[in-house]
Chains A and B, each alone.
Chain A
Amino acid sequence: MSIRNWPIKRKLTAILLLISGLVLLLTSAAFVTYVVVTNRETIRIHLATRSRILAATSTAALAFANEADATEILAALQYDPHMVAGALYNQDGRVLATYPAGAGADLIPAAPQPDGYRFERGRLVGFTPVAQGGSQRLGTLYIASDTKAVADALRLSAVIALVVLAIAMLAAYALAAALQGRISEPILALAETATAASTRQDYSVRAPKFGDDELGMLTDAFNQMLGRIEEQKQELQQHALRLEQRVAERTGELEKRAAELQAANSELDAFAYSVSHDLRAPLRSIDGFSQVLLEDYATRLDDAGRDSLQRVRAASQRMATLIDDLLKLARVTRAEMRTERVDLSTMAREIVADIQRAAPERAVDFVIAPGIEAQGDARLLRVVLDNLLRNGWKYTGKQAQPRVEFTAKQENGGRVFVIKDNGAGFDMRYADKLFGVFQRLHSAAEFEGTGVGLATVRRIINRHGGRIWAESAINKGASFYFTL
């Protein structure tokens, strides 16, 4: 685990231990260094003193080159176990005597070196002048001592330092463990509270406060924040509750409204059904018995009488057509929409074939652009195309070269479908009446019709979310545009 992710307790303890450990280490190093330096100096002084004493006692032996005396003098070194070697050189630098007696070249340098006391290869060596009367140099005394004392002191001081270090670290760890709580506890309490608040969404918890330091301030601020969140949460809950109530109320209202609409719709259904059945029956009687009169009493009626009966019959048939058209209009409003991809070109060709089959005597030039497609209810769109194409066919009835076109174009990012004829057209001043129920811009004598077709068309277009409009001038043909 990266140090960054350590728990704060461990971090604090680690920091405290690191600092105290570093301090102790430096102190121990200083202590050990001091001991070593002091000890070296001590043994150096010791060697110097001993050398000078020995040098003083060696003057006679050197002066007379008395090897036996010199050896004896040197032998005194045996009383100091640290002394490892010794030698006396005469004035010419040759060895007169050695300690231990007969020591080899490995212990004794072949010639005296400059006077002084120094550490060499783990030993302390000293070259001391032997002089008589303070001026005449007779030779040189060489003594070598081991540095065991220094090593011992180093070892001892190191052990002491280590023991102290260990005890101190233990104490520091104990203290750190005890004291880090002062800092970590409030932070841990904060963290715990924050976790509780965020995981359980419980904003009623509060972090305990341990003092008035910065952590205390942080705790206070955190607790205040929790308090505010709690308040806001409650407010939100109340809002939500109110909203739910309102939604429930609205839903209830809507359901009621839907039920009312449903009722109205089924009433309309019943009405339409009733119209289809009950209004037609009397018409059948009117027409039928008029015909009976015409057939059975033809001889007793004059021309005016027969004409009147014919008018009665025509009117009842016309009313039947009106009823049928109205029913169609009602059906368009009620019918369920099923949206799919519709091939309008093919549909238009089928309708045109129907029209031409029913009235082969009229040669109308239908031009239908290929590949016109739309998204919508196929049955309803068929009613639209049927009405518009039949209108084109009907109002070109007095044209020498009648022509009806069905095309589509792109306009303002949308698709606009166009059915254009070169027929009678209409006066644009009355264009707003074109799509109203029972509104006609031509008399029945001119062009027959009930004035329901375009109303039906507009209703279908509206149900598709589209728009329909027309452009025309009298005797200049008419163009009907619609979008879906």
Chain B
Amino acid sequence: MNPGKILLVEDNPDDVTLTMRALKSHNITNDVVVAQDGVEAIDYLFGAKAKADLPAVVLLDLKLPKINGMEVLQRIRSEERTRLLPVVILTSSDEERDIIDGYSLGANSYVRKPVDFVEFTKAAQQLGLYWLLMNRAPPPPRST
């Protein structure tokens, strides 16, 4: 069984590199698709070249150029096709406002990126393991 892809929505190339490294170092071999801003993420999910099968999980940063993470989340939840798609907010912010907004818009999880890379690696590994291997994804939407 193909455990599916990870869509990493992250504008900071350093964070992208570090996240990839953290995932890889724990043998999470799934494809990681990177979207560098909200527009790319939406394009990947809903655009003309959108794949039929959805990623297993979206790791979503909040502070993004053009369209921010909250807007992306809103869009994901408003579309029938992606309504149940697991979304994990992975951000630097631990503002209460962001946490409340995130869950209110239907985020499945909210994780703050630790500065300590060892901690960060642990977090990324746990996220990967949990959402790709342990979590049972919602059934794919009926294609019309």
Name A residues whose Cβ lies closer than 8 Å to a Cβ of B: 272-273, 276-278, 280-285, 287-292, 313, 316-317, 319-320, 324, 327
Contact = CB atoms under 8 A, between A and B. Distances in A.
B43 interface: no
Interface in B82-117: 91-95, 113-117
A281 B21 contact: no
Interface stretch (B10-18, B70-78, B132-140): B10-18
Q: Which of B113, B114, B115 has the most CB of A within 10 A?
A: B115
A284 B117 contact: yes
Q: Which of A280, A288, A319, A327 has the most CB of B within 10 A?
A: A288
Nearest to A316: B115
A276 B113 contact: no
B63 interface: yes
A172 B15 CA distance: 118
B111 to A, nearest CB: 13
Interface string B112-127: 0111111010000000
A291 B118 contact: yes
Contact of B113 (A284, A291, A313): A284
Given A283-B115, A320-B115, A288 B92 contact: no
Nearest to A290: B117
Contact of A317 (B21, B93, B115): B115
Contacts of B91: 277
Contact of B21 (A282, A292, A320): A292
Contact of B93 (A276, A316, A319, A320): A276
Contacts of A316: 115
Contacts of B117: 284, 287-288, 290-292, 313
Contact of A289 (B14, B63, B113): B14
25 contacts: A273-B95, A276-B92, A276-B95, A277-B62, A277-B63, A277-B91, A278-B63, A278-B92, A280-B92, A280-B113, A284-B92, A284-B117, A285-B18, A287-B116, A287-B117, A288-B117, A288-B120, A289-B14, A291-B117, A292-B117, A313-B116, A316-B115, A319-B115, A320-B116, A324-B94
A320 B119 CA distance: 13
A284 B18 contact: yes
B15 A281 contact: yes
B14 A284 contact: yes
B93 A273 contact: yes
Contact of B14 (A285, A291, A319): A285
A339 B89 CA distance: 33
A184 B14 CA distance: 105
Given A288-B18, A289-B14, A292-B21, A281 B92 contact: yes
Contacts of B14: 281-282, 284-285, 288-289
Nearest to A323: B115
Nearest to B21: A292
B63 A287 contact: no
Q: Which of B15, B93, B94, B116 has the most CB of A within 10 A?
A: B116
B63 A284 contact: no
B120 to A, nearest CB: 7
Given A281-B92, A284-B18, A284-B115, 20 more contacts: A273-B93, A276-B93, A276-B95, A277-B62, A277-B92, A277-B93, A278-B63, A280-B92, A280-B115, A281-B15, A282-B14, A284-B14, A284-B92, A285-B15, A285-B18, A287-B116, A287-B117, A288-B120, A313-B117, A317-B115
Contacts of B63: 277-278
A276 B93 CA distance: 6
A278 B15 CA distance: 12
Nearest to A294: B117
